[in-house]
Every structure is written in structure tokens, then in C-alpha cells.
Amino acid sequence: MALIYVVDDEMNIRKLVAFGLRDAGFETAEFSDGESLLKGMNRKKPDAIILDWMMPGMDGLEVCRRLREEKAWRKIPVLMLTAKGEEIDKVVGLEMGADDYVTKPFGIKELCARVRAILRRVNDSKENEEEVLEEGGLSVDISRHTVKKNGTVIELTAKEFDLLCILMQNTGKVLTREILLDKVWGVEYFGDTRTVDVHMRYLRQKIEENPDSPQYLITVRGVGYKFVGDHS
């Protein structure tokens, strides 16, 4: 049974989410703020974390940043709860390391579906743990969750890493935005394909010499993206 940590300063929402998760077959533990969560992480690691964005003191973004800084915690998926609906706000959350987000008000069934989706993606990634991808000066070690370009380490968020892996595993093949959304975010993801474009833009900024004229991550207009490893 997967253990899910629920972090929200609003007790009614926290209790509702925890009850819904338990009803769906998950084990839960509740925390009212970021500080208590971090203390709980030192006692026992969860399988996933549901984290409220707007909390007094340490907000959800800061908590997420701290989780991603700790090697032992950085692979634990985080689903962010937020009342913010603007795309730029969602992008900020994803860039800080959140794996998914749900905008309040939300349905418990949708929330549980998203939790199952991120847990499934974690399990799928474990099946390829020993694989190392090398193309065009880029080296991706899946088990160590590291990316190097010409020997220099490049820091990627969890979603950027997954996106790069899928593209490199299909070098030369054009993958539609819908396929990438399915492979990286899961079939139960309720967002739209702009999410793929946003992450691709940030990924290019990190691995391309000139993001405006990419050599690795190529846009195929009207279709999707492909990875090109041979630049000769």
C-alpha cells in the first residue's frame, strides 16, 4: 500500500484529501506545514507527497525546492495543490520540481487518478534503472538520474529529465505532443499539450548552445518533437 503525505494548513481540506486517499486504498499521513513535513521525511519516506502551495511560513514552493535539494528525497513525486490558475504560476511550480498540480477546487477522484499516474510513472522508470543513454555528447544515466553534456553535469527537474529520456530513447523519431504527454505525465493527466511546450522550452535552455536554434530538440511543426543526436 502506497504511503502518501498530505500537507495543507487548512485542516478541512487536509482531512478531506486524506480521507479520499484512504478510501481509494492509500495509506496517509497529515502535516499542517512545511516544517513538520520535513521532520516527518527524516523519520519515514513516503511514496508521494500532496503539497499545498499557499501556506504560512514556508510555502509549498520552498518546501518543494528543499525536497529536490536532498538526494534521498529528490525522486519522490510531488503533486501541488494551488488556487492559482494562471499558466505562469503552474510553470513556476513545475520548475521548482513539482511533478503535477491540481487547481482548487478539485474533485477527489481526479486527485486520486493523478496520484496513481505519478506513482505508475515512478514504477515504470525503475524498470529502466540500468539504462544509460548516450547521443551527440549527451549522456543520461537513468539509475543515477544524472545528465551530462560533454562531461559537464546539467541539472534538470524531474519532468525535464523524463522528457529528455523519452525523446532520446526514440532518437530520430517524431513524437507528438499527445504521446509525450501520455508518456511523461500519464494517460490520466488532465492538462493540455501546452505543458509539453513549456517544458521543452526550459529543457532547451539547459542543454542547447542556442535555444532559439536547437540542435538536439527539434520541433516538427504541426506534429511534435524529435531528438537528433548526430549533428555531422
- Which helix (H) or strand (E) segment holds residue 134: the answer is strand 132-135
Domain 132-227 has CATH 1.10.3720.10: no
Where exactly does CATH 3.40.50.2300 map onto the chain? Answer: 3-126
- The CATH architecture of the domain made up of 3-126 is 3-Layer(aba) Sandwich (3.40)
Instruction: From first to last of the 232 residues of the chain, give the pLDDT tens digit.
Output: 899 999 999 999 999 999 999 999 999 999 999 999 999 998 889 999 999 988 988 888 899 889 988 878 888 999 988 876 555 466 666 667 788 888 888 899 999 998 998 888 777 665 555 578 888 889 999 878 899 999 899 999 888 998 999 999 899 999 999 889 888 877 555 566 788 899 999 999 999 999 999 999 999 998 999 999 876 5
Which grid cell sits at 198?
Answer: 513549456
Where exactly does CATH 1.10.10.10 map onto the chain? Answer: 132-227
- Transcribe 72-118 into DSSP letters: TTTTS-EEEEES--SHHHHHHHHHTT-SEEEESS--HHHHHHHHHHH
pLDDT in tens, 66-95: 998 887 888 899 998 887 655 546 666 666
- What is the rounded distance in angstroms from the CA atom of residue 166 to the CA atom of residue 69? 24
Question: Rounded to the nearest 5 degrees, what angle is found at the Cα of 22, between the Cα atoms of 34 and 71?
Answer: 40
pTM over 0.75? The answer is no
